[in-house]
A and B are shown apart, each in its own frame.
Chain A
């Protein structure tokens, strides 16, 4: 079946540090890939997405590149802020009826001053 594996958290960084959260997937075919973010007390929000190999999704300084050869979609940010503290979920979805999302377990990021 389809699955997503994320690095375990929590990840604790100082402000302005470089962030990488690893995500790999297992799927039959070529899914679309997503990063969602969940801020404390809020619902899941789409952070960025990529729909085919070598696409780069980007938003709010975050980036992730769809790597078919390594089945990966690692999330990166060059300089994190305290306001980036949240739980980050990697997910995949196939185009088709009932395009349900399959999520990883989430990675908690804590950024300190």
Chain B
């Protein structure tokens, strides 16, 4: 079946522009995560959704970052007034179960969106 998809794959923005990054999780997956991966680093957690509820946004670096999942499926990560330090790969992951219900629940990652802010 289809995996996690993300669009666009590449995005170039001028500093100060707003961007929207889309994630299509695997159908039926309850949990959805966003991570930010800076060049040469490991992914870092941004936010987590359980269906349409955003249960943890502790990793969002500033109030310029906003995420939503209004119908419990597709999610959008929006970055307002982009800055150069926002340049990174943004990864989306989904998992079947409610986070925390199984120690072995696997997160499936999309290919990421590479954001470059000029």
Residues of A bordering B, CB below 8 Å: 4, 32, 36, 41-46, 49, 51, 89, 91, 95-106
Contacts and interface: CB of A to CB of B under 8 A. Distances in A.
A88 to B, nearest CB: 10
A51 B43 contact: no
A106 B4 CA distance: 22
A59 B91 CA distance: 24
27 contacts: A36-B109, A42-B111, A43-B4, A43-B109, A43-B111, A44-B91, A44-B109, A46-B106, A46-B107, A46-B108, A49-B104, A51-B104, A89-B43, A95-B100, A97-B55, A97-B100, A98-B48, A98-B56, A98-B100, A100-B33, A100-B48, A100-B59, A101-B33, A101-B45, A103-B43, A105-B41, A106-B41
Contacts of A106: 40-42
A91 B103 CA distance: 13
Interface in B62-95: 91, 93
Given A43-B4, A43-B110, A43-B112, A99 B42 contact: no
Interface of B: 3-4, 31, 33, 35, 40-45, 48, 55-56, 59, 91, 93, 99-100, 102-112
Nearest to B31: A99
A45 B93 CA distance: 10
Given A43-B4, A105-B40, A105-B41, A96 B110 contact: no
Contacts of A45: 109
A43 B99 contact: no
B43 A44 contact: yes
A22 B107 CA distance: 23
Nearest to B4: A43
A46 B106 CA distance: 8
Contact of A97 (B35, B56, B103, B109): B56
